[in-house]
Amino acid sequence: MDANFAGLGFRQGEAVVVTGAANGIGREVALLLARAGLTVSAWDIEEAALNELVAEIEATVGTVRGVLVDLDDQGAIDAAWDEATSMGLPIPYLVNNAGPPSTTDVSVVEGLRMSVGSYVAVTEGWLKRHAAEASSMTFTSSIAGNFFVGPTTDWYPTAKAGIAGYMRHCAVKLRGHPRSNGVAPTGVVTRRTAEAFASEEMQQRLKAQPMGRAGLADEVAAMICFLLSPAASFINGVLIPVDGASTWTHG
């Protein structure tokens, strides 16, 4: 996809924080928003992939600052906000997207801390520093826990439902300042999942899906960028499946 989001109302001279920006969905969000004219504060724990993203944006589409951060560490989140704020730009936009793989072997309580807990901490850090200009944020949840509970780890659907609940809570409590929305993807091909999606078994399963294929990271990113943008100005508190209708074939 070669989408141009400049028409959605983003303004030059403003910035966005994108978490989990080094890979997959977050990477595509960072590229789209940089192309739309926002300065991107790209947060991730993977240094090499983050450097690669920064080099790509600087060489081609726009302005970016890479921030190395472990979102499972409150002190590191505070330092990342200080770093983003030091750019001296308004930060009206936040994309809460980073997440451990669904297969990560942790307890439910640890999984909640690593996903819901980190999204809450990042959001609170933003509102503490940038409430005056905060316009819109998104949360990357999943169909798991919201539209379907598959054969996955215990913590994953629990946490993804928790993320959607927090997203709705913010939509109501903050009264649109900022707006708060979410996406619920499933089966998205990324660098991390590419090998699993290439297997014969997975290819057969995908063929049985309504669209007969997996989703692409930029297809999820496109919905995130729309929900985030001024063009979605009366959309608040929704969780949009980005699943090619596969949700309706489960069960």
Site of interaction with ligand NAD (CB under 6 A)? 20, 22-26, 44-46, 49, 69-72, 97-100, 140, 142, 185-188, 190, 192-193, 217
Closest approach of ligand NAD to the CB of residue 83, in Å: 14
Cβ distance to ligand NAD smaller for residue 25 or 134: 25
Cβ distance to ligand NAD smaller for residue 15 or 239: 239
Cβ distance to ligand NAD smaller for residue 14 or 68: 68
DSSP string, 187-246: SEE-TTTHHHHHSHHHHHHHHTSTTSS-EEHHHHHHHHHHHHSGGGTT--S-EEEESTTG
Closest approach of ligand NAD to the CB of residue 81, in Å: 14
How far is residue 187's CA from residue 80's CA, in Å, rounded to a whole number? 30
How far is residue 237's CA from residue 176's CA, in Å, rounded to a whole number? 9
Contact 122, 71 (CB under 8 A): yes
Distances in whole angstroms, Cα of residue 6 to Cα of each of 15, 37, 191, 221, 222 = 14, 7, 27, 15, 12
Residue whose Cβ sits closest to ligand NAD: 24
Cβ distance to ligand NAD smaller for residue 11 or 192: 192
How far is residue 221's CA from residue 102's CA, in Å, rounded to a whole number? 19
Cβ distance to ligand NAD smaller for residue 92 or 244: 244
The residues that bridge with 17 in the sheet, in sequence order, are: 41, 94
Cβ distance to ligand NAD smaller for residue 46 or 83: 46
Closest approach of ligand NAD to the CB of residue 227, in Å: 14
Closest approach of ligand NAD to the CB of residue 44, in Å: 5
CA dihedral 73, 174, 148, 224 (to 10 degrees): -80
Closest approach of ligand NAD to the CB of residue 175, in Å: 26
- Give just the sign of the alpha carbon dihedral 44, 112, 160, 120: negative
Q: Return left, alpha or beta for 13; rule: phi > 0 is left, psi -120 to 50 is alpha, else beta.
A: left
Closest approach of ligand NAD to the CB of residue 54, in Å: 13
Closest approach of ligand NAD to the CB of residue 188, in Å: 4
Cβ distance to ligand NAD smaller for residue 15 or 217: 217
Contact 221, 25 (CB under 8 A): yes
